[in-house]
């Protein structure tokens, strides 16, 4: 059930990314990295549809994280790229190329290999000091990437902002898992905890940075980085901060790393396909 819900979330996130990029590219560069960017985008119906898709995807992700682990749920979101291929092929009336088949196979093999070897299991609520370390280890790199991104539009700005957004989304996923579990103990317990408010703050900030990455250049520049960084950061937080079960004996770590690398290569191949990013 968790896997089905996570895959549904992946599909909706993929749709949302394409729609949001299509509209974000039309916004003036002066609004980049500002909340005003969201205000301008809100007037565009296609972007609103993308946000609705984003919200629905997040609800499914919230449900999946409430019953599963970061190490299991977050990598499954990469499969959203696989859903975009048949939809794009049907709309454009063409068959998949050899490179697209290769990318799809790499994502499936890498993802399945990682999950089978890792055999992810639940963890526990991190202690306060663990949260401090986690926040420092994610927010500082995010700030560095955002500040170091070139001021002009182009590949450098798109990829660096996408990486920053990916880190924020990974942190938001961790806060989402905790928030989902807090909700199981009652609404009062939820709203008297700090994690839900941090989750909203990180989510909104990640949305602004992510839209700025989409605005900075073609989707083939930002989508691969965003798609890969998010689950990797989530896996690291899940394994180290939440101490979620992940196989570490024998050659398991090497096989897990290989699975993630293969999945990453497949992601970069698929995220450059016209069926995923459209005609740009």
Beta-ladder partners of 245: 121
What φ, ψ does residue 121 adopt, rounded to 5°?
-135, 170
**pTM, two decimal places:** 0.84
Residue 40 to residue 42: CA distance in whole angstroms: 5
Q: What angle do CA 3, 115, 209 make, to 5 degrees?
A: 75
Each residue's pLDDT expressed in tens, for the chain with a length of 280 residues: 788 999 999 888 877 777 776 676 666 666 666 666 666 777 778 778 888 888 899 899 999 998 889 999 999 988 887 877 776 676 567 788 888 899 999 999 999 999 999 999 888 889 999 999 999 999 999 999 999 998 887 888 999 999 999 999 999 999 999 999 999 888 888 899 999 999 999 999 998 898 888 888 877 788 888 888 999 999 999 999 999 999 989 899 999 999 999 999 998 888 778 777 664 4
Domain range annotation of the chain: 2-277
CA atoms within 13 A on the CB side of 168: 25
């Amino acid at each position: 059930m968790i896997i089905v819900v996570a895959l549904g979330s992946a599909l909706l996130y993929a749709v949302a990314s394409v729609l949001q990029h299509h509209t974000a590219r039309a916004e003036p560069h002066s609004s980049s990295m500002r909340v005003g960017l969201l205000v301008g985008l809100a007037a565009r119906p296609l972007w609103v549809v993308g946000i609705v898709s984003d919200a629905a995807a997040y609800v499914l992700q919230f449900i999946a994280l409430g019953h599963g682990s970061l190490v299991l749920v977050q990598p499954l979101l990469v499969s959203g790229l696989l859903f975009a291929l048949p939809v794009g092929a049907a709309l454009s009336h063409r068959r998949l190329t050899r490179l697209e088949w290769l990318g799809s196979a790499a994502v499936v093999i890498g993802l399945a290999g990682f999950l089978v070897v890792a055999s992810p299991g639940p963890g526990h609520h991190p202690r306060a000091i663990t949260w401090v370390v986690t926040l420092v280890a994610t927010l500082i790199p995010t700030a560095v990437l955002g500040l170091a991104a070139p001021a002009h539009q182009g590949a450098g700005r798109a990829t660096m902002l996408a990486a920053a957004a990916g880190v924020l989304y990974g942190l938001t996923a961790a806060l989402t898992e905790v928030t989902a579990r807090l909700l199981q103990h009652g609404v009062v317990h939820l709203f008297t905890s700090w994690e839900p408010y941090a989750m909203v703050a990180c989510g909104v900030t990640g949305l602004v940075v992510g839209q700025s990455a989409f605005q900075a250049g073609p989707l083939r520049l930002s989508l691969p980085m965003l798609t890969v960084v998010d689950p990797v950061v989530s896996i690291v937080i899940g394994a180290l901060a939440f101490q979620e079960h992940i196989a570490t004996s024998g050659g398991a770590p090497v096989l897990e790393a290989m699975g993630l690398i293969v999945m990453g290569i497949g992601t970069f191949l698929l995220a450059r396909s016209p069926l995923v990013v459209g005609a740009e």
